[in-house]
Amino acid sequence: MVWLTGGTVRDALLGMPGKDFDLAAAIQPEVLRSLGYRQVIGKSTAPVWLRHDRVRGSMEITLLDAPGGIMADLQRRDFTMNAMALSLAGEMLDPLGGRRDLELGLLAPCSDRTFLDDPLRVFRAFRFAAEGFSFSAATDSLLNGGEWDPKLAGIPVERFSREMLKALAAPRPERFFTLMIRYNAGRIFLPELFHMADVPAGPAEHHPEGDLLSHSLDVMTRVCAMTDDPLARFCALFHDIGKLATEPALHPKHHGHEDAGFDAARGFCRRLKLSTDYGRDLAWVSKLHGMTNKLGTLRPATGILLAEQAEKGGVGEILPLVSAADCPGGMDAVLWRRLSVVAAMTTRQLGIDHKKLQLVPAEKRGEFILQRRVEMLATLR
């Protein structure tokens, strides 16, 4: 018999469209190979068979030892809401009360060994919390009872980052990071997060929230209200990563933290095995956000150069969001749009005659074009 299981059943009960299919079945491996499935063996998870279909999406099959092995399979799963099965004939199996917990929005473990059997489930729990689920008393007790980092040490960093990125796309991503700190889990992957609580965000008159962690979570939460883009939210959370490099004797000030963040960002993201756009965007947001926060006070030429840098760095859209969240009231969105438009104009759009431009000494052409951009900016309303 073939059963729909796990997230497929959970999402169907929530009325969410299914992207992929989780299946459990007692089928011979030779049959699966003939159907185009390939076996994937994880370091800490049971082997599964995968196949991608362009129409139906990805299909993942867990092999059962026998036709009646579905009950044992469900009891080995992580959380009760993922431990339901539905046969192709419509028969529902729910031995652990997963449907009730799902309706309550409660994340409950399938057994006392849920996190010990696969420590990555710690981060899955945090990610589900970011999606809106609350922890049952049993989940809280199990998470409180573990010394997690030694157990997490064998997990590849990209598996942690995959859960983090899913959480960043969820409605409440701040929960993922606050739960990491609450249960002291993940310092080996993200020590910067844990260090933030010990660093002042800046002078009290500018940062009444106090520590860098509180400030960074506040900024990310405000960005979450503006976009569901996980990259923008990531840049918001770590926009002040350069402040971690400030010598404690210089606290609470952080002179030069923008440049320090620019230098640190790419290595930080490489360590987390994130795609190159994460390192690039975080670097430029770190470098430019301080000046962007003062946008309304900048000379027109400086504002145009700032917009040019943002566009070249690929953060023309993310930077103003982070700045508006970092310094509420300091970011003029209308002015930023005007600066971005002018900064992107070609010499033809600026009305510069190419022959006349060739008469300008080469070392002064950049200044000549910039002046024309300033003049064009004055005409935009």
Extents of the domains making up the chain: 1-97, 346-381
Is 0.85 surpassed by the pTM of this model?
A: yes
For the chain, the maximum distance between any two Cα atoms, rounded to a whole number of angstroms, is 86
Chain centroid offset of residue 366 CA: 38
From start to end of the chain, where are the E strands?
Answer: 2-5, 21-25, 38-40, 48-53, 57-63, 85-87, 92-93, 106-107, 134-135
When the pLDDT of each residue in the chain is averaged and rounded to a whole number, the result is 92
Query: For 55-59, 130-134, 215-219, which range has the lowest pLDDT when averaged over its residues?
Result: 55-59
Query: What digits encode the pLDDT tens for the residues 221-268?
Result: 999 999 999 999 999 999 999 999 999 999 999 999 999 999 999 999
Query: For 54-63, 175-184, 300-309, 367-376, which range has the lowest pLDDT when averaged over its residues?
Result: 54-63
* CATH number for domain 1-97, candidates 3.60.10.10, 3.90.1010.10, 3.30.460.10, 3.75.10.10: 3.30.460.10
Asked if the bond preceding 203 is cis, omega within 30° of 0, the reply is no
Pairing label, strands 57-63, 38-40: unpaired
Q: Is 225 exposed, middle or buried (0-12, 13-18, 19+ CB in 10 A)?
A: exposed
pLDDT classification of 57: cutoffs 50, 70, 90: confident
DSSP state of 16: P
- Per-residue pLDDT at 44 exceeds 70: no
Pairing label, strands 134-135, 106-107: parallel
pLDDT classification of 9: cutoffs 50, 70, 90: very high
pLDDT at residue 63, as a whole number: 86
